[in-house]
Amino acid sequence: MKAFTFEDALKAAGGTAVNQENVTREIKNVTMDSRKVTFGSLFVAIKGERVDGHDFMREVFLKGAAAVLCDHVPEGITGPCIVVPDTVKGLQEIARWYRSILPVKVVGITGSVGKTSTKEMVAAVLAEKFNVLKTIGNYNNEIGLPLTVLSIEEDTEIAVLEMGISDFGEMRVLSRIACPDICVITNIGQCHLEFLHDRDGILKAKSEIFEFMNPKGRIYLNGDDDKLITVKEVNGIVPTFFGLKNTNDVYPVEKESMGLGGTKMRISLRGSLFDAEIHMLGDHMVSNAMAATAIGADLGMDKNQIAAGLYTAKTIDGRSNLIPKGTGYIIDDCYNASPASMMAALDMLKLANGRKVAILGDMFELGPDSDNMHAAVGRYAATVGIDKLLCVGQNCRHMYNAALHENGTGGLGVGYYTDLESLLKSLKIEIKEGDNVLVKSSHGMGFAQLVEALKEL
């Protein structure tokens, strides 16, 4: 982070200074985690469901914090404080100001699914030419995004930021902080329907990313998506469309699956052809590669640089992460789930050699049609060409019943467990040496524990 002063933070947050005699005191980093406080930190005291950051103010000052952003000063605290009514909003205002003083170019990526993998792909490509910062982990929301912005270094040329939401108005907040120069929407799927109601609502909410973008910026949309293809122009900006279909500006003319090794492809970049290879699994990753290709080309990269970046791009834990296990693999895709991403993950699994087992858990926030959506995944699993389906969770009973009905007397083995704990007790019975095992559910199911258990089998 480029250092700034207490006074800079005070003005940006619109707060009141308490216990501060030196307004030029230097702030070297910003964190909300008291364990990560070092000399010169600005500690943001956030009240969470379980922990209140204000309880750690004495500790962070002892560790050398330059100041604390808080909504009140507890008794006995004598260190420099910036007091604001809402520390999350104060953090956002500081991040917005910090973004405004940097010449960095920002790529903002959103969508119902595929945000993280697209972010990884875009960052890998751009890193072949530029000094790139990317969102780490799940720092993509109203707290994570401003913290990511505040981690941008003075010499960073491009920041690739993942932007995640679950309700109307949230993307507007993120766009106001990031002020993206480049906007990417990966798709409009069936996620967060509890709050956004339907896919039209999702499109409306995701489109808030455009509200604070650079008026001379660029927009990249998945042209295979029936909702996104209707977006012909945004404030005078004509989108570039990417995807698998040949109607897009950037698409694969040819592609050859290498099984769990990835995909070889020939890419048409606005009519110009070149060869590339990715090691991230599935056709949806090929689509993500088209987005990265288009962005890289428009930022002046040549085909060799783009191909090199695509070749080196990797997934992260919980997102289609391939883990060797004996003669088989664990496909760790447990970070989150929607009907579309479940089906895409099943498509990945069928690429494996050997026995194919899918362990699927509940999908959350699907609204009133949740039962039917779980059932649709079950029907798809019964026809996609895997050997065993294990459904886990209350919602997944509908997936289980639909898979049984669709399979009939077919060869798919179907099992059901009410919760993760009961599955873990039977794991050694269900899974054999050499199995290829897909693990996928919504994050709240805690399937990261299942991945660790599979590693230990």
- For helices 339-349 and 283-298, give the axis angle rounded to 10 degrees: 110
- Which string of DSSP letters, residue by residue, matches 426-440? THHHH--TT-EEEEE
Higher-confidence residue of 123 and 49: namely 123
In 3-state terms the chain splits into helix, strand, coil percentages (rounded to 5) of 40, 25, 40
**What was the pLDDT predicted at 229?**
97
Query: Comparing C-alpha atoms, which of 316, 338, 282, 318 is closest to residue 450?
Result: 318
pLDDT bucket at 49, cuts 50 / 70 / 90 = confident
Q: Categorize the per-residue pLDDT at 209 as very low, low, confident or very high, splitting at 50, 70 and 90.
A: very high
Residues 69-74, mean pLDDT to the nearest whole number: 97
For tokens 């050699």, the residue is 353
Q: Average pLDDT for residues 36-64, to the nearest whole number?
A: 96
Residue 118 binned pLDDT confidence (cut-offs 50, 70, 90) = very high
Residue 68 CA to residue 320 CA, distance in Å, equals 38
- Mean pLDDT within 408-422: 92
Instruction: Name the token pair of 176.
Output: 């106001």
Q: Report the percentage of the chain scoring pLDDT > 70.
A: 99
Alpha-carbon distance of 32 to 68, in angstroms, equals: 10
Domains recognised in the chain with CATH numbers? 4-91 (3.40.1390.10), 102-312 (3.40.1190.10), 321-456 (3.90.190.20)
- Asked if 288 and 222 count as a contact pair (C-beta separation under 8 A), the reply is no
The confidence score (pLDDT) of residue 361 equals: 97
Helices (H), 299-444: 303-312, 339-349, 370-383, 396-407, 420-425, 427-430
Kindly indicate the confidence band of residue 290, based on its pLDDT and cuts at 50, 70 and 90. Answer: very high
**pLDDT value at 192 more than 70:** no
Q: Check: CB of residue 19 under 8 Å from CB of residue 79.
A: yes
pLDDT in tens, 222-265: 999 999 999 999 999 999 999 999 999 999 999 999 988 899 99
Q: Which residues pair with 263 in a beta bridge?
A: 257, 278
Residue that has been written with the tokens 């040819």 in this structure: 254
Structure confidence at residue 21 (pLDDT)? 80
pTM (two decimals): 0.85
Element (H, E) at 122: helix 115-126
Strand 132-134 relative to strand 158-162, pairing: parallel
| 294, HSE (Cβ side, Cα atoms, 13 Å) | 29
Q: Please check the confidence at residue 193 and state whether its pLDDT lies above 80.
A: no
**C-alpha span between 336 and 352 (Å, rounded):** 22
DSSP state for residue 276 in the 8-state scheme: E
* DSSP symbol at 84: -
Q: For residue 24, what pLDDT is reported?
A: 92
Give the residue-averaged pLDDT of 121-127. 98
Q: Give the model's pLDDT for residue 105.
A: 98
- 195 pLDDT higher than 80: no
pLDDT at 20: 86
**Residue that the structure tokens 């009514």 belong to:** 85
Helix (H, G, I), strand (E, B) or coil at 53: helix
Collapsed DSSP state (helix, strand, coil) of residue 58: helix
Average pLDDT, whole number, for the chain? 94
Residues 341-397 have pLDDT tens digits of 899 899 999 989 999 999 999 999 888 899 999 999 999 999 999 999 999 999 999
Provide the pLDDT confidence category of residue 317 given band limits of 50, 70 and 90: confident
**Statement: residue 191 has pLDDT above 70:** no
Determine if residue 40 is left, alpha or beta; phi over 0 gives left, psi from -120 to 50 gives alpha, anything else beta. left
Q: If DSSP codes are grouped into helix, strand and coil, which group holds residue 256? A: strand
